[in-house]
Amino acid sequence: MFTGKIRPGRAGRLQLSAISTKALNACRLYGIVDLSYVEKSDAARVAEAMIKGGVDLIQLRGKGKSIGELVDVATELHETTSRSSTPLIVNDHAEIARKVPIEGVHVGQDDDPIAVARGKAGRPLLVGKSTHSLEQAHAAQREGADYIGFGPIFATPTKPDYQPIGLKDIKQAHLDVNLPIFCIGGIKIDNLELVIAAGAHSVAIVSGLLKAPDIVEYARACRKLLTLKSEIRNPKSEI
C-alpha cells in the first residue's frame, strides 16, 4: 500500500499532497485496470482486489474509450482508491484531472508532452512517461517526468506493435536515471524473478493480474517477491 501523505480535499475527498520521489521509490507493484480486459462495471471491484493484494499504484487505461466514459469510471475508481490512499493514475487524458481528483496521469511517447499534460490537468499531479529505450528514459528525466515505465520487457498483447527490449538494459536504466522506474511488458509471476535479478526494483503488471483466478493472492505473491528481493538488496532500507 502506498504510504505518501494525504490531506482532505474538497467535498471531503482525500488527495495526495506531495508524492515525493522517495515515496514513489518505495512503491513496488503498479497495477493497471485495462478496460480491454475489464468491463467498466467491474473496474472498481478489480481495483479493490488489487489494493487488498498490496498494489501500490493503480492506473486506469481505456484505449478507444471516450473522455465521458473514462470520467465515469475514474470517478468510481477514485472512490475506491482514496479509501486506502492509493494513487489513481489515468492513462493519456490529463484533462480528466479537472473533473476527477485523480493523483496522476501517464503519457506515452506519442501522447502529449509532459508540460502540456500538466497544463491540461490544471493542477499539480504526478506525470509518468512510457519509455522503450535508455535514450527515451534519459529524455523523460530531462522532460520532468515523476517516474517512468520501462519496457516492454517481454512480448505483450497489450502493446503488440512494440518490440520487446529484454532484460539487458534494466540495470543500466537504474544507474542512469534518477527516477522511480517501473518495468513493464509481459511481466508475470512466472518471470518476475528474472526481471528482479536483472535489476528491477518495481514492476507494473497488466494481464497477469487481470486474468488471475484470484487477483488478491496473485498480487500478494508478486508483492512478497518484490519486497523480499528488495530487502535482500537493501537490508537497512525502509520499504
Percentage above 90 pLDDT, the chain: 81
Specify the higher pLDDT residue, 94 or 158: 94
d(CA 107, CA 153) in angstroms, rounded, equals: 18
- Give 168-208 pLDDT, tens digit per residue: 999 999 999 999 999 999 999 999 999 999 999 999 999 99
- Give 13-47 pLDDT, tens digit per residue: 334 444 667 789 899 999 999 999 999 999 999 99
d(CA 163, CA 74) in angstroms, rounded, equals: 30
Q: What is the DSSP letter of 97?
A: G
Angle formed by the axes of helices 43-53 and 215-233, nearest 10°: 40
Residue 145 has pLDDT above 90, yes or no: yes
What is this structure's pTM?
A: 0.89
Residue 111's identity, in one-letter code, is D
Angle formed by the axes of helices 134-143 and 114-121, nearest 10°: 40
Give the active site residues.
61, 130, 159
Contact between 192 and 222 under an 8 Å Cβ cutoff? The reply is: yes
Residue 89 has pLDDT above 80, yes or no: yes
